Amino acid sequence: MGADWTRTGDLIVGVQRPPEIIRTLSTAVVPCRCLCVVAELGVADEIEDEPVSVDELASRCGADADALNRVLALLASYGIFRRVGRVYAHTPASRLLRSDDPMSMRAFARLWGAPLLSTVFANLEHSVRTGATAVEVVEPDGTWAYFRDHPGEAQVFAQGMSARASVDIAAVLDVFDFSRFGTIADVGGGRGLLLSAVVEVTPGSKGVLFDLPAVIDALDIQHERLTSQAGDFFVDPLPAADAYLLMDVLHDWDDAHCVDILSAIRRAAAPGATVLVIENVLGELEEEQAKRRHTADVVMLAATGGRERTAIELSSLFNRAGFSSGAVTDTSGPVRIVEARAI
């Protein structure tokens, strides 16, 4: 026998009854869409420290009061908003839907309501049957081509990724000491949120942000120890550095492209330089984190053609590109840090 199951009738102890598991997952799209709509309408921004009636919220947000009440009542059952009759107040979770919260995740919720991801997951069967991305049903040239042609959605995507990254960055800084690196390059670092945070807590370090010209040209970097370099990591030389950060980069690509990215870093890196891959690394995990990481893996399957990998799978990519694999560091969130050294 495999796992040792303890059952009472059809109840697995400590877990929902099997019919409830199926029912919960089958209807999960409903609270998800409610969250996306409330984030899009900016409902949380209309509640300050005092409770607000749903009629007032509907008036401020341009919504139907009865419909909004029913949606908010569902979210309140999940701990998002506190409900007393037709009046709503904040909970710690609903405050994260405010645009001005330091850890705001409003943009992340809006991202999941955007047309591209909604359509991609409506076509997930295409991925499961063929192994190809579901996004190719919408845009044959892939997600990044779609965003080039839909700048409004691209902006929502960038904001959503930044919102999620803010939470992950805090978890990374709590467990990893970057002070041993003099120059740190963030490859594919987007708006530079990770690199800025790292440099801020390591006064002896300087950072170089590397990303596509369109990304770099839109930035206004003010930090005296931060510089930027525009380029394509599949084509252009990367900066020399003591450490290279790859946060949520490799999981966007198949193995061959990952080796190309790592090989480009290896050409720029001196022996002994460090690569830090920061993403949802699969492994033997506590259940809730396993759910998050495997969810991210299916997102990669459908949207980019990449995948979440185990530390052993990442080690194989490192070795093919001229790196020796090293430590794996867990964080309090879903991301892990996998370290490699240039040979």
Tokens of 24: 């919960």
Q: Is 251 a catalytic residue?
A: yes
Q: By CB neighbour count within 10 A (0-12 exposed, 13-18 middle, 19+ buried), where does 45 fall? A: middle
Helix or strand (DSSP H, E) at 129: helix 124-130
In single-letter form, the type of residue at position 93 comes to: A
d(CA 179, CA 317): 26
- Active-site entry in 90, 150, 251, 294: 251
User: DSSP letter string over 47-107?
Assistant: --SS-EEHHHHHHHHT--HHHHHHHHHHHHHTTSSEEETTEEE--HHHHTTSTTSTT--HH
d(CA 105, CA 159): 9
Which among 168, 212, 172, 205 is positioned nearest to 189, based on CA atoms?
212
Helix or strand (DSSP H, E) at 247: strand 243-247
Those residues with Cβ within 8 angstroms of residue 53's Cβ, 6 or more apart along the chain or in another chain: 86, 87, 88
d(CA 54, CA 56): 5
Q: Which residues are tagged catalytic?
A: 251
